[in-house]
Amino acid sequence: MNVEKHSPLEDRAARHAALGDPSRLRIVDLLTLGDLSPSEIRASLGLPSNLVAHHLNVLESVGMVERSRSEADRRRSYVRLTEAALDDLAPGRTERAHRVVFVCTANSARSQLAAALWATHSTIPAASAGTHPADRVAPGAVAAAERHALALSTGSPRELGSVLTDSDFVITVCDMAHEEIGVAGDLHWSIPDPVRTGTDEAFDSAYDELERRITELAPRLTAP
């Protein structure tokens, strides 16, 4: 079978060509720091669903975006940038924040790990909370933090309402929490729940994804 291969230069040119449309460029700007469902993209751009689908298909064809199914509502999907989407391309969006608050449902794993990781990458304060907090931090999260020499908070999971202030920059790291609080969040990262699987690999995968995203976000989030 004859498989057509493209040079890195041709791949870059294809991505630049895909971004030549203002709507697709705006979609990428929106996705640079968080995941969005197609309906959220449609609402943000004010475009009909068929046109949003076309733009996403173009971006997907050049390897800039990928999709995943929501763990909460299986009929819903989230779009994210691929790791190489912006290689050799300038990033877009920057934000300011007094404090970053990471949110998941139970505040027992992903949000706890995220807040601890954030402290190693930024001087902006961070906290974590849950929409329905568990009784304790998940043992798998504690073990993952120990494997990566990460200082995890020793406190119990906290309810979002007791933590959140009007000036906080909210990042949901859980589909269920994001869909529950909706527009109250500033960014969303669609990260699978490692507690459901319970394996070391699941917790390490969540850790790695959080670290990658935090490493990308930290230089672009500045104090007011």
What pLDDT, on the 0 to 100 scale, is given for residue 5? 59
Q: Is the distance from CB of 97 to CB of 126 less than 8 angstroms? A: no
Q: Is the distance from CB of 110 to CB of 196 less than 8 angstroms? A: no
The list of the chain residues with pLDDT below 70 reads 1-6, 90-93, 183-184
What pLDDT, on the 0 to 100 scale, is given for residue 3? 42
Rounded-to-5 percentages of helix, strand, coil across the chain: 45, 15, 40
The verdict on 115 and 195 lying in the same domain is yes
Q: How far is CA 215 from the centre of its chain?
A: 12
The verdict on 201 and 114 lying in the same domain is yes
Q: Is the distance from CB of 153 to CB of 113 less than 8 angstroms? A: no
Single residue among 81, 108, 132 that ends a domain in this structure: 81
* 3-class state of residue 91 by DSSP: coil
The verdict on 117 and 202 lying in the same domain is yes
Q: Which domain range does residue 191 map to?
A: 95-222
> 127 vs 6, 27, 91, CA distance in Å?
44, 29, 26
What pLDDT, on the 0 to 100 scale, is given for residue 91? 55
**How far is it, in rounded angstroms, from Cα 33 to Cα 220?**
9
1 within domain boundaries: no
